[in-house]
Amino acid sequence: MPLLVAFDLLDRQIVDSEGIPVGKVDDVELAVDDAGRPRVEALLTGQQALGARFGGTLGRWITSVAARLDTDHRGPRRIPYRLVSEVDSAVRLRVRRELLAEPPLEAWLNEHLIGRIPGAGDD
Amino acid sequence: MNPKRLLAVTLGILTAIGGFVDIGDIVATSESGARFGLAHTWVLLVGVVGICVYAEMAGRVAAVSTRPVFDLVRERLGPRVALVNLAGSYLITLATLAAEIGGVALALQLLSGTHYLLWMPAVAFTLWLALWRVRFETLERVFGLGGLTLVVLVVGVFWLSPDMPALREQALTFAPPAGENWPTYSFMAIALFASAVTPYEVFFFSSGGVEERWTRKDLLVARVNVFVGFPLGGLLAFGFMATSAIVFHPVDVEVDTLGQAVLPAGLAFGQVGLGLAILGVFAATFGAAMETGLSAGYTVAQYFGWSWGKYLRPRRAARFHTVVLVSILLAVAALLTTIDPVQLTEYMLVFSAVVLPLTYVPILIVANDRGYLGDKVNGRLANTLGVIYLVVVVAAAVAALPLIVMTGMGG
Amino acid sequence: MTDAHPRRASDLLGRTATGPDGEPLGRVVDLICEPDADGVPVVTAALVVRGRWGRLLGYEREQVDGPWLVEALARRALRHSQTTVPWADLRLAGPA
């Protein structure tokens, strides 16, 4: 069954090997092979990628807020396609979330807000 | 029968409480009973069937694919249209959250005499604490079952020895009684229907199913939740409508306060009855506050793809918990303006018009997608009812705006 | 195809597509991929739709099947205007 980039990938939920949400497929990175055909190289996730896709004033605002939180200037989170194990109702990865880069907003909130409230870490 | 299995329906009951006997509904159904007698009974029935149809689909999708409803909204409608839904849904949910926190405070005011605004910060803090630390299942059980105390009003309907044939005639009249006009009757009907099928119910129910780690094997559990929970919710709402119809309608008294809404329980059973009713209101509104507080977090997190849920430690779902915290703070801020929280939810009805179709269309489509559900796709009954209700929802949406103008918000 | 190397799918989707002779075919709404030898999806064709509807709600796949009213409306919007253009034959016009 052929894969449809917009339908099967874009705006689908990415989940890790345990089923925990990782992010949405906000965009897809393509690389062009020698025959001139694009191939799916990586999934891009995060508000920076979403804002870029939106375009317009709203998109630029989303991207700039997200970029400011991205203190290491890494750009949108990139998940190489080889980490994908299957695509059905969600895009399922072979690995656990912990092995991927932590989302900038999540890291910032853990440091400045949530992490400081008692009871945040234990079950 | 294993008692634990009986408790498995508490998710459905808690969801239904938010849709049928939250503070807005308690006042609205009582008001309807006082002004129109039982002439809106059919609206409750239509609402119960409608939410059952869509909650069953949403629950099925959650069990078979583990995807909650807002994932479907973004996936099928695209990020731009889904953002419109998110904005509208979030505003409705936030306004309702404020109303519920106010409602819990009002119940405490009835019990203690202390003004509700003084109770309000404590209520908000307790709510946040419960959502931060208490297990989802525990919250479900305590407040789902606690809200069932409202059954005292249903029993009260019979205890008050009403004129049954007269009540039956009222219930079977699909028209406003003498002294009321069609626009107000229709506005009230739409308001009651819209609150029975509010999107945060399906957002909460499907997310709750994922929180409970439903799988294909839990399809029966999901269905029992729907078909026990929502009819029970409708029955409790009917309790308010009927007791007000019996007590207030014959003497032409209007109901617009919580105190009046619970009065019939006192008339039927004395202090004990009144106490039980207020306790039931406390549990139901606190449960609805939890439902809307969590839904606010679920919808935002699910739109952006963030990790969410009480099944994760807060550190692992920081963005989700931040949204919940911020939403509670915004709700408190709204209440501090001393705006009437129940009135606020009526104004939000306007947004329902846009949000309802944008929520239910994706559910209906995905419920037919074999890639998602395999052989568990909709049968003909589910599809027929689904389409009928989609039409009803759109019709209600179209009619809502002019009616709001014509009746001045049902005045 | 004659275009600068695309970097993201959003650069391709929504672009106006023309056939080999330059006749306008509509807009690209999806990219059809087949797995190559390593299992990596490679774009082999583009789904082009004439008209305003970009998002198709899922009805372009056979797996979504009903309810008949919604599907009938969706298909009516799509039926005559959906074409599959092999990647080699595709020309893309300016930005989306």
Identity of the amino acid at B372: Y
Give the C-alpha separation, A16 to A92, whole Å: 6
* CA distances from residue B53 to A95, B214, B221, B290, B381 in whole angstroms, order as listed: 37, 19, 15, 23, 10
Largest CA distance in chain C: 42
What are the residue boundaries of the structural domains of chain C, listed by start?
A: 9-92
For residue B350, what pLDDT is reported?
Answer: 67
Q: pLDDT by residue for chain C (96 residues), tens digit each?
A: 444 455 899 888 888 888 777 788 888 889 999 998 888 899 999 988 887 655 555 555 555 666 777 767 766 666 667 788 888 888 887 665
Distance of CA B66 to the CA centre of its chain: 23
Whether A2 sits inside 8 A of C33 (CB atoms) is yes
- Smallest Cα distance from B86 to chain A, Å: 15
Instruction: Please give the average pLDDT of every successive group of 10 residues along chain B, which has 411 residues.
Output: 67 93 93 92 95 96 95 92 93 94 94 92 96 92 92 90 86 85 89 91 95 92 95 96 92 89 91 93 96 97 96 93 97 91 76 84 90 89 93 86 75 54
Q: Which helix (H) or strand (E) holds C45?
A: strand C41-49
CATH code 1.10.290.10 for B3-407: no
Mean pLDDT of chain A: 89
Alpha helices by DSSP H, B66-115: 69-112
A47 CB near a chain B CB, below 8 Å? yes
CB-CB neighbours of C78 under 10 Å: 18
Whether A7 sits inside 8 A of C58 (CB atoms) is yes
Helix (H, G, I), strand (E, B) or coil at C31: strand
Burial of B180 (0-12, 13-18, 19+ CB in 10 A): middle
List, edge to edge, every strand of the sheet that includes A13-15: A21-24, A13-15, A91-93, A84-87
Which residues make beta-bridge pairs with A80?
A42
Distance of CA A30 to the CA centre of its chain: 15
Whether A88 sits inside 8 A of B304 (CB atoms) is no
Q: Could you write out the DSSP letters of every residue in B362-406?
A: HHHHHTTBHHHHTT----HHHHHHHHHHHHHHHHHHHHHHHHHHH
CB-CB neighbours of B252 under 10 Å: 9
Chains in contact with C, where contact means 3 or more Cβ–Cβ distances below 8 Å, are A, B
* CA distances from residue B312 to A47, A122, B63 in whole angstroms, order as listed: 22, 10, 19
HSE-up (13 A, CA, CB side) for residue A53 = 27
What are the residue boundaries of the structural domains of chain A, listed by start?
A: 5-116
Please write the tens of the pLDDT for every residue from B164-200: 888 888 888 888 888 888 888 988 898 899 889 999 9
Chains in contact with B, where contact means 3 or more Cβ–Cβ distances below 8 Å, are A, C
CB < 8 Å to C58, chain B: 76, 365-366, 369
Name which of A6, A32, A81 is nearest C40 (Cβ-Cβ): A81
Give the C-alpha separation, B264 to B240, whole Å: 9
Please write the tens of the pLDDT for every residue from B381-410: 999 999 999 999 988 888 887 887 787 766
Instruction: Name the architecture of domain A5-116.
Output: Roll (2.30)
Name which of B67, B74, B307 is nearest A89 (Cβ-Cβ): B67
Q: Which helix (H) or strand (E) holds A91?
A: strand A91-93
Give the C-alpha separation, B202 to B306, whole Å: 19
Identity of the amino acid at B45: L
CB pairs under 8 A between A and C: 84
Q: Are B185 and B42 contacting, i.e. CB atoms less than 8 angstroms apart?
A: no
Give the C-alpha separation, B238 to B191, whole Å: 15
What are the residue boundaries of the structural domains of chain B, listed by start?
A: 3-407
Nearest CA to B223 among B58, B82, B363? B58
Query: 0.80 cut: is pTM over it?
Result: yes
